Structure 1
Amino acid sequence: MAAAAAAPMPVAGAGWWDLVNGSTAWQDGIFLSLAALYGLIAASSFIQVVRIQYRVPEYGWTTQKVFQLLNFIVNGARCSIFAFRRQVHQVNPEIFRHVILDIPGLAFFTTYAMLALFWAEISYQARGLETEGLRSGFYTINGVIYAIQVLLWVLLWHNPNPSMIVLSKLFIAGLSFSAALGFLLYGGRLFFMLKRFPIESKGRQKKLREVGRVATICFFCFLARCIMMCFDAFDKKADLDVLDHPILNFIYYLTVEIIPSSLVLFILRRIPSKLRLAQYHPLNSG
C-alpha cells in the first residue's frame, strides 16, 4: 500500500515578528536596550570632552571638542527619549511628540555636517583659499534647515494629515542624501589630497586611513538613513514613530546612528598632545 503523504511541518517561529511587536515586555526591553546603547555613546563623548579640556585647556572650543559635545547632546537626547518612550508617546498635543522625536535627528545632521565642514576647511587652507565663507555658509544652511523644519511643524499642527507627515519625513531623507554627498565630496577631496602629499610619514598614513574610514562610514550611514526614511514615508506599516514597531526601531537606529557613531568616535578617539606653555603659540584664523 502506498505510504501516506507526509503532513507539512509547522513553520518554526511563525508569527514571531508580530509576537515581539505586540508584546509590552519585548517593546520595553528593546527600547531600554536602545536607551542603554545611546547612553554609553553619550558617556563616551562626555569623557572625551573632559579629557580634551584637561589635556589642552588653552585651545578653547576647538572643532574636535564641539563635535564631541554635540555627540553627547544628541545621544543623551536619544537615550532619554527611548528610556521614556511610553511617556513620549502620550504627549499631547501630538505636534509636541513630533518635535521631540525630530530634534535629535536634526542635531545629528548638524553634528556630522560639522565634521564635513572641518575637512572642507582643511582642503581650502591647503590650496590657499579663504575659509570664512565655508563657516558662514554652514551657519546659514543650518539656519535655513531648522527654519524649514519649524515651518513643517507649524503646518502639521494646523493641518495634521498624513501627507504633511510624509513631507516631513521626505525632508529628513533629503537632508540625509545631501549629507551623504557632502561626505563623498569633501571626504574624498581631502583623502586624495593627502594621498598626493609628497612627504611620507606615519602621521600622514594615519590621517589618510582616518579620513577614508570616517568618510566611508558617514556616507553609507546617511545614504541608509535616506533610503529608510523614504521607505518609512511611503509604507504605513513601517512607521518608526509608534510603540508597536520596536524591531524596526532597533534595526533603524542601530544601523543609521548607533553603529556609525560608535565607529566614528572610536576612529577619532585620539586627543591633542599636551603642550608646554613655552611651546604654545596661538594660531590665527588662517
Structure 2
Amino acid sequence: MGAEVGEHVIYNLILGFYGFLALITVVQLLRILWNVKDLQWTTQKLFLFLTFLTCSMRIAFFILVAQRDTNLFMVNPARTPIISVLDTLPVLLFFTTYTLLILFWAEIISVARSQPQAERTKSRWIFGIVNLLAYLGVAALYITLVTISRSHHTIDIIINVFIALIVIAAAFGFLYYGGTLFFILKEFPVNSPERSSKLKEVGYITAVSSVFFGIRAVLQMIGAASKSIDLSLAFVFVYYFLAEIPRGQVRLERQPLINEEKV
C-alpha cells in the first residue's frame, strides 16, 4: 500500500513539473506570436514549440503508465507499443531541440570566422541528415520489435543503446560547438556587458547540457539493463529529474541566447 502511494506521489510530482514547463513554454510561444507579427518560423519559435511538444508527450506517457498500474521500466514494448513510443519519442525531440541550438551556434561561428554561405548550408544539411537518421533508426527498430515473434528483449536493449549513442553524440556536439563559441566570444575585442552576458550564457548552457546529456546516456544504459531488474521508485524520480527536466528549465531560463532569426 505504501509503495503504491509513493508511486502515485512520484508520478504526480513529475507530471506537475512537466505540466508547469509545458504551460510556461506555450505562454512564451503565444507571447512571441502576439508581439511579433511574422508568420515565418524562427529558431526561437521552433525551440519553444519542440519543448511544448516534448512536455505534452511526457504528460501523456505518465498518465498512461499510471493507468496501467505497472512498473515504469518493466513495460513490454512489444505489447504496449504506444506507451513505449511515447517514452522514446520525447528523447528524440529533446535531441532535435538541442541539435537545433548546436546548429544555431555553428552558424554564429561561421559568421564570426567569415566563412562562406556554403558552410551555413552545409551545417543545416548535416543537422537535417543526423536528425533524420536518428528518427529512421528508432522507427526501424520499433517496427522490427512489433513484427517479430522473438528476441523482444534483445531489440529493446538495442533501442536503449541506440538512444544512448544519440545522446552521447549530442553531448560531444555541445562540448565542441559550445566550447568553440565560448572562446570566440572570449577573444572578441569589444568588452561590453552584453558580451559578458553572452559569454556566461554560452558557458553555462554548454556545461549544463553536456553534463546532463552524459547523465542521460548512463541512465539510458541502466534502463536497458532494467528489463530484468525491478528498479526502485527513487530511480524513476532520479531518471527523469536528471535526464530531462533540468534541460527543460535551461531552455526556458536562457531564451535570450536565441534571437528571432528565421530558420
Q: Is the 8 A contact 1:232 1:238 kept in 2?
A: no
Which one of the candidate residues 16, 26, 34 is aligned to 2:14?
34
What is the alpha-carbon distance in structure 1 between the residues aligned to residue 234 and residue 190 of structure 2? 49
Letter in 1 for 2:25: S
Indicate whether 1:103 and 2:83 are aligned. Answer: no
Indicate whether 1:155 and 2:144 are aligned. Answer: yes
What is the alpha-carbon distance in structure 2 between the residues aligned to residue 127 and residue 185 of structure 1? 16
Indicate whether 1:268 and 2:259 are aligned. Answer: no
Query: 1:277 is matched with which residue?
Result: none
What is the alpha-carbon distance in structure 2 between the residues aligned to residue 59 and residue 198 of structure 1? 36
Which one of the candidate residues 215, 218, 223 is aligned to 1:224?
215
| Deviation at residue 98 of structure 1 after TM alignment | 1.9
- Please show how residues 66-85 of structure 1 align to structure 2 within 5 Å: 66-85=46-65
Letter in 1 for 2:121: E
Query: 2:111 is matched with which residue?
Result: 125
What is the alpha-carbon distance in structure 1 between the residues aligned to residue 238 and residue 57 of structure 2? 19
| Deviation at residue 126 of structure 1 after TM alignment | 1.4
| Deviation at residue 24 of structure 1 after TM alignment | 1.7
Query: 1:194 is matched with which residue?
Result: 185
1:220-260 deviation per Cα after TM superposition (whole angstroms, max 9, x unaligned): 110000111112223445567xxxx4321111100111122
Indicate whether 1:256 and 2:243 are aligned. Answer: yes
Structure 2 stretches lacking a partner, 5+ long? none
Mean Cα deviation higher: 33-42 or 82-91: 82-91
Structure 1 stretches lacking a partner, 5+ long? 1-18, 274-282
| Deviation at residue 137 of structure 1 after TM alignment | 1.4
| Deviation at residue 83 of structure 1 after TM alignment | 2.8
- SS across alignment from 1:58: coil
TM-score normalised to structure 2 length:
0.87
Q: Is the 8 A contact 2:60 2:86 kept in 1?
A: no
Larger helix percent: 2
Query: 2:158 is matched with which residue?
Result: 167
| Deviation at residue 59 of structure 1 after TM alignment | 7.4
Q: Is the 8 A contact 2:11 2:66 kept in 1?
A: no
Q: Is the 8 A contact 2:61 2:83 kept in 1?
A: no
What is the alpha-carbon distance in structure 2 between the residues aligned to residue 162 and residue 186 of structure 1? 36
The 3 A distance-change label for structure 1 pair 235 and 48 is same
What is the alpha-carbon distance in structure 2 between the residues aligned to residue 101 and residue 272 of structure 1? 31
What is the alpha-carbon distance in structure 1 between the residues aligned to residue 164 and residue 209 of structure 2? 15
Letter in 1 for 2:171: A
Q: Is the 8 A contact 1:31 1:85 kept in 2?
A: no
- SS across alignment from 1:131: helix
- How many correspondences in the alignment? 252
1:168-205 deviation per Cα after TM superposition (whole angstroms, max 9, x unaligned): 10011101100000000001111110111111111111
Query: 1:12 is matched with which residue?
Result: none
The 3 A distance-change label for structure 1 pair 228 and 92 is closer
| Deviation at residue 54 of structure 1 after TM alignment | 2.3
TM-score normalised to structure 1 length:
0.80
Query: 1:145 is matched with which residue?
Result: 134
What is the alpha-carbon distance in structure 2 between the residues aligned to residue 152 and residue 189 of structure 1? 35
Q: Is the 8 A contact 1:228 1:252 kept in 2?
A: yes
Letter in 1 for 2:91: G
